[in-house]
């Protein structure tokens, strides 16, 4: 199981590499183009600046809006044994079909219900299903009449069917889960600082699977986040209260009520997780340190500046779910501490340096207690560093760069009992084509194996017909052998033998 989780974590490294740049675009653009920031700092109210910030925000936002799809694609590419492009296409098809199925069921049976977003869980289920079906059926042989749909073309079809079943399952399972989280939210709102701890802990825990978007809106925009009279007007919801107090020129003293659902973020995002990155980097095996320095620096800066943490969290979530739970617990404690010492920094976007400066430092210590955040944050950074360093070394957690290339995929090792019939045929085809050294390129259409060769005189046409070719045609620069539905299968196996990646 640990080995499987390790492979999933490694497969996610491809989309994770995109996230730091997207996070910086989204964090900077989103924070500086928000209505609250513009009203508070008139210097930002410039058409050119706002156009730039909005473009940055949109460019970064589209990546995170489609993060589940990108993770699904990365999973398929990383875990497919061969023909990875087809696996990725199957993953996209499955993802779209599953979500369309769920949305259709919501519109039919629950027209007043909210949309269902399965996040990372959906990406995992669909991606693993797609890659399993791909690895199993990418070389399937169908009857001659259905030959066009054989091989890799069969995979997106069977994945679509499976995705419909998955979409139905999510429609049945997800609403009760969402309802349960709402009940927990009501309980959290009623128990003071302990509730603030559970808010931070639960939101971080649910963030692993994309369910945090169910948690925080209940507190940011409804009575669960507090009710307060600001400038003579009753305001409901944590973020609305904070914005109202920002806009109130007569407000004195600390920002109140709503900030307890924001202030705990800064210790984790600005100090804790960047320190965890340092711990993971220091645990990288020596030959890999230069290779991984850039990615760790990138994700650490993204968390510190913008408060976007997914690029870091996906580095250890799947290789050590227990460590992620510890991280979620520490995040909950961070919220608890910020509440009891009255740190009152709000935010519009996240808990990074940008919001810390805009809604903490520049508001003055008398309103936010931001000076307290610095010593607490430094302590938090040291705590995260040693917790992660200890866990990684003590339990040999395979975070990025630790024996990264040393494990092998046992499923890809050839069975010792002998080659399959397709592989045996492929070896004979290579020999009939004049050997591997005579082959320049191998491709296939619906029925024909198309091979570019260096010297067509070395090709043994009778050898190709003995293996089942109904005809062998010599064309300029190559050979076309007609094998019917097997053509695309032979192409894949031959390329695999020759070491040509798809």
User: Of 469, 407, 419, whose CA–CA distance to 444 is shortest?
Assistant: 469
How far is 246 from 239, CA to CA, in rounded Å? 10
Does 445 qualify as catalytic in the annotation? Answer: yes
Q: Which residues contact 441 (CB under 8 A, 6 or more apart)?
A: 451, 452, 478
**In whole angstroms, what is the distance from residue 115 CA to residue 226 CA?**
26
Q: Cα–Cα distance between 355 and 333 in angstroms, integer?
A: 21
Distance, CA of 67 to CA of 166 (rounded, Å): 19
* Under 8 Å between Cβ of 97 and 185: no
Phi and psi at 438, nearest 5°, equal -90, -5
Sequence-distant (≥ 6) Cβ neighbours of residue 417 within 8 angstroms: none
Q: Rounded distance, CA 479 to CA 237, Å? A: 72
Residue of 72, 76, 283, 445 marked catalytic: 445
The alpha carbon torsion through 206, 211, 216, 222 (nearest 10 deg) reads -130
CA-based nearest residue to 141, from 426, 490, 424, 480: 490
Instruction: List CB contacts of 111: < 8 A, sequence separation 6 or more.
Output: none
Residue 474 structure tokens:
């010599």
Rounded to whole angstroms, the Cα distance separating 146 from 470 reads 18
Which residues are known catalytic residues? 445
């Amino acid at each position: 199981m640990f080995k499987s989780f390790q492979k999933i974590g490694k497969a996610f490294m491809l989309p994770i590499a995109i996230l730091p740049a997207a996070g910086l675009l989204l964090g900077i653009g989103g924070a500086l183009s928000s209505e609250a920031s513009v009203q508070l700092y008139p210097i930002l109210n410039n058409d050119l600046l706002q156009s730039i910030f909005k473009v940055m925000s949109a460019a970064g936002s589209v990546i995170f809006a489609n993060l589940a799809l990108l993770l699904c694609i990365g999973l398929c590419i990383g875990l497919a044994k061969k023909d990875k492009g087809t696996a990725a296409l199957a993953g996209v098809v499955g993802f779209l079909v599953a979500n369309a199925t769920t949305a259709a069921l919501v519109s039919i049976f629950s027209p007043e219900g909210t949309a269902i977003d399965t996040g990372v869980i959906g990406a995992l289920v669909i991606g693993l299903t797609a890659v399993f079906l791909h690895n199993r059926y990418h070389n399937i042989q169908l009857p001659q009449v259905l030959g066009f749909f054989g091989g890799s073309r069969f995979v997106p079809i069977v994945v679509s069917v499976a995705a419909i079943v998955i979409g139905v399952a999510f429609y049945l399972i997800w609403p009760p889960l969402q309802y349960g989280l709402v009940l927990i939210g009501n309980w959290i709102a009623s128990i003071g600082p302990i509730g603030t701890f559970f808010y931070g802990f639960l939101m971080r825990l649910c963030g692993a699977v994309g369910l945090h978007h169910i948690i925080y809106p209940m507190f940011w925009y409804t009575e669960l986040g507090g009710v307060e009279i600001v400038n003579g007007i009753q305001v409901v919801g944590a973020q609305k209260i904070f914005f109202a107090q920002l806009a109130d020129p007569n407000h004195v003293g600390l920002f109140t009520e709503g900030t307890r659902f924001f202030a705990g973020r800064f210790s984790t995002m600005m100090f804790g997780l960047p320190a965890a990155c340092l711990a993971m980097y220091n645990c990288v095996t020596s030959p890999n340190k230069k290779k991984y320095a850039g990615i760790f620096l990138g994700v650490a800066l993204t968390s510190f500046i913008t408060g976007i943490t997914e690029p870091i969290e996906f580095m250890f979530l799947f290789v050590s779910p227990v460590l992620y739970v510890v991280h979620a617990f520490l995040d909950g404690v961070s919220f608890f501490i910020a509440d009891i010492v009255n740190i009152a920094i709000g935010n519009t976007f996240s808990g990074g340096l940008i919001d810390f400066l805009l809604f903490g430092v520049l508001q003055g210590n008398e309103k936010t207690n931001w000076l307290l955040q610095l010593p607490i944050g430094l302590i938090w950074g040291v705590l995260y560093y040693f917790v992660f360093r200890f866990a990684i070394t003590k339990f040999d957690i395979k975070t990025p760069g630790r024996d990264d290339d040393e494990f092998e995929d046992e499923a890809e090792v050839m069975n010792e009992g002998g080659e399959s019939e397709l592989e045996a045929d492929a070896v004979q085809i290579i020999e009939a084509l004049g050997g591997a050294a005579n082959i320049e390129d191998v491709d296939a259409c619906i029925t024909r194996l198309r091979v570019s060769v260096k010297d067509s005189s070395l090709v043994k046409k009778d050898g190709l017909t003995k293996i089942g070719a109904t005809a062998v045609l010599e064309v300029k620069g190559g050979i076309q052998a007609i094998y019917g539905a097997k053509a695309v299968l032979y192409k894949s196996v031959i390329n695999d033998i020759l070491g040509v990646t798809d």
